[in-house]
Amino acid sequence: MNRSAPQSGPEQAEELQPYELADLLGIDRADAGLLATAVVRLPVGWSHRWKSRRGAMELTATEVAFLLNQDPSTVTRWCQAGRLAYRRAGARLYRIAPAALVACLKKMNGGTAPEVVETAAQRDRRAMASRAEALAMCGQSKPRSKRKSSAALQKKAA
């Protein structure tokens, strides 16, 4: 069981592509595959907090554990063992820079980043969202249905 996952429903999660996550954390897009190879469901509170941070970006052990699907105690052990660079922010609080996280993951993966994968369903959802956005910019609220309306069917039947 993943104890690091926050208790939030689907309405409280924001879906981010790996490249969007890399941009949000301020790391190189080429390293996005180290953090995620598919869509990440990130708690909305975290993404808002990350977007509004000033100064150096730092993650908590819980946030790193959530991103890597690990337990926070595992991340803490990595810090204590020297595998993951960190900064102490209190007696039991660890702050990890995204660049340090990427460096650690590169060491673990032999210096390569896995390829980012997009499923057919994700590609279709992305295409539908971009089409709806384009239609909204043109003044149409909804895309036209390919089905014939009930009025057109009634005229054809009569």
What pLDDT is stored for residue 53 in this prediction? 81
Going by the DSSP 8-state scheme, the letter that residue 10 receives in this structure is G
∠ CA 10-75-101, rounded to 5° = 85
47-74 pLDDT, tens per residue? 888 888 887 788 999 999 988 888 999 9
pLDDT band, very low/low/confident/very high, at 141 (cuts 50, 70, 90): low
Name the residue with higher pLDDT: 153 or 4.
153
Please tell me the number of Cα atoms within 13 Å of 36 on its side-chain side.
Answer: 22
71 close to 65: Cβ distance less than 8 angstroms? yes
What pLDDT is stored for residue 21 in this prediction? 87
- The answer, as to whether pTM is greater than 0.85, is no
Residue 110, exposed/middle/buried by CB under 10 A (0-12, 13-18, 19+)?
exposed
| CA pair distance 47, 14, nearest whole angstrom | 8
